[in-house]
Amino acid sequence: MTTAEILAAHDRFVVPTYGRFPLAFVRGRGARLWDAEGREYLDFGAGIAVCALGHAHPALAEALARQAATLIHVSNLYHVELQARLAERIVSLLGGGRCFFCNSGAEANEALFKLARKFGHREGRYEVLTAVNSFHGRTLAGISATGQEKVKAGFEPMMEGFRHVPFNDLAAVEAALSKKTAAILIEGVQGESGIHPASAEYLLGLRDLCDRNHLLLLMDAVQDGMFRTGRFQSWQRLLEGSRDARAAAFLPDGISMAKGLAGGVPMGGVWIRPPHDLLLGPGSHGSTFGGTPLACAAAWAVFEAIEREGLAEHARRMGAHLLDRLRNLASPRVAAVRGLGLMIGIELAQEIPALHAEGKLPSALFTAKLMETGLLVVPAGARTIRFLPPLNVTRAECDEAVEKLARGLASL
């Protein structure tokens, strides 16, 4: 099919829940994608931080083929070896606890919401505090938890039990606590709102606040986890170098994971710290397709490749290189550059006439402009675009992305 034919079929048969760009990709390799007409693009979105190893990574493709020929699915009524091994691997990176597997970040956050409800149930506590400008998924509970009004419009009334407080503001969190509060949920790096990292003081203060008030501290690591920042979890990277003695002992009570976890195969997961890891007993939660042999084989292959290829440290180096190149662009059209590892936001200046169009955000308009140069990025909020390349992106590809970005900026 041609791109025009694919777009026409989408328009006719697919529910229009996405504001899609007029591209249709049919093949990928590494950090490259090719559309239906054979045009090549440099993919610095990686499926919104999903394709951790890039496209068609040989080890991941081989693991999927081997597992598909062995066992794709078996019910969670039975034990799955790969699921147990994967859980053990994740637990070993965090120090104790247990894992639950599902299919997406939204599902993973749903498990955290139920954990918080179960935790506070006997005392009548069910409220979860989240941050302004946060993003926690597209389910009804997910948009209720999300601190952005745009995702809620038309779906009111929201689920009760969620309130939003300013990000990186410990005093605001403390002031918002009530007798109904059971948990606090934050992202280590806010992604959808434009790449905003939490401060070390904020993270450590939240841990103390939760300990003093018998609350769960929950982390949404759906986008910023899986070594994207140079450590398995973003909070590990954010607390590096802290002289505060509390940093070495910092640990959340629950973490949601997805996106890069299985390199493109649908998978989500939750890690829960003891003793809370036994709160969700038999019958309290489940997922038909959660932790299938196929998905677990994919996730195992991703972990293996990251370790074998040294991609955590590589993500640090490439992230530092990108930030250096981007900050040296000296373009009046760039207001700020923020980032941690390979999670980078480029905030556009306020007044760029070429990015003014009725009903369209400047970030989306500039994303479309960059497609003309052959660069794929992801909008974040009104004026920010994201670089979320594969963890194995090369230095040459980073330089190419910056050059394409510079051409796009110069064309405005």
pLDDT of residue 297: 99
**Does 33 reside within a domain?**
no
Q: Are residues 84 and 153 in the same domain?
A: yes
- Our count of domains for the chain comes to 2
Examine the fold and report which residue of 308, 330, 346 is the final residue of a domain before the chain moves on.
Answer: 308
What integer is the mean pLDDT of 90-94? 98
| Of 325, 324, 42, 340, residue with least CA distance to 194 | 340
pLDDT of residue 330: 84
pLDDT band at 105 (very low <50, low <70, confident <90, very high): very high
Q: What is the pLDDT of residues 286-342, one digit of tens each?
A: 999 999 999 999 999 999 999 999 999 999 999 999 999 999 998 999 999 999 999
| Of 127, 150, 124, residue with least CA distance to 138 | 150
pLDDT of residue 357: 84
Examine the fold and report which residue of 263, 293, 308 is the final residue of a domain before the chain moves on.
Answer: 308
**Does 10 reside within a domain?**
no
Q: Are residues 324 and 199 in the same domain?
A: no
What integer is the mean pLDDT of 137-156? 97
**Does 393 reside within a domain?**
no
Q: Are residues 152 and 182 in the same domain?
A: yes
- Whether 143 and 192 have beta carbons less than 8 Å apart is answered as no
Q: Are residues 327 and 286 in the same domain?
A: no
pLDDT of residue 236: 98
Q: Are residues 138 and 270 in the same domain?
A: yes
What CATH number is associated with residue 89?
A: 3.40.640.10
358 has pLDDT over 80: no
Examine the fold and report which residue of 276, 308, 340 is the final residue of a domain before the chain moves on.
Answer: 308
- Provide the phi-psi class of 236: left if phi over 0, else alpha when psi is between -120 and 50, else beta: alpha
The CA distance from 112 to 344, in Å, is 27
Q: Are residues 299 and 363 in the same domain?
A: no
Q: Are residues 353 and 227 in the same domain?
A: no
Q: Are residues 290 and 365 in the same domain?
A: no
| Of 24, 42, 10, 96, residue with least CA distance to 370 | 42
> Residue 220: phi, psi to the nearest 5?
-90, 105
Q: Are residues 216 and 327 in the same domain?
A: no
Three-state secondary-structure class, residue 216:
strand
pLDDT of residue 315: 99
Q: What is the pLDDT of residues 184-212, one digit of tens each?
A: 999 999 999 999 999 999 999 999 999 99
359 has pLDDT over 90: no
| Of 258, 312, 233, 305, residue with least CA distance to 30 | 305
Q: Are residues 318 and 247 in the same domain?
A: no
**Does 42 reside within a domain?**
no
pLDDT band at 246 (very low <50, low <70, confident <90, very high): very high
Q: Mean pLDDT over all residues of the chain?
A: 98
Q: Are residues 299 and 353 in the same domain?
A: no
**Does 275 reside within a domain?**
yes
Q: Length of the chain, please? A: 412
**Does 371 reside within a domain?**
yes
393 has pLDDT over 90: yes
- Please write down the long-range contacts of 139-147, taking CB distance under 8 Å and 24 or more positions apart: 139/106, 139/107, 139/109, 139/110, 141/109, 141/110, 141/113, 142/106, 142/109, 142/110, 145/109, 145/113, 145/185
What integer is the mean pLDDT of 229-251? 96
Q: What is the pLDDT of residues 260-277, one digit of tens each?
A: 999 999 999 999 999 999
Q: Are residues 273 and 316 in the same domain?
A: no
What CATH number is associated with residue 335?
A: 3.90.1150.10
Q: How many CB atoms lie within 10 A of CB 31?
A: 23
**Does 72 reside within a domain?**
yes
Residue 97: domain span: 61-308
351 has pLDDT over 90: no
pLDDT of residue 322: 99
**Does 335 reside within a domain?**
yes
What integer is the mean pLDDT of 152-157? 97
Alpha carbon separation from 33 to 27, 62, 199, 204 (Å, rounded)? 6, 20, 36, 41
Pick the residue with more confidence: 51 or 352? Answer: 51
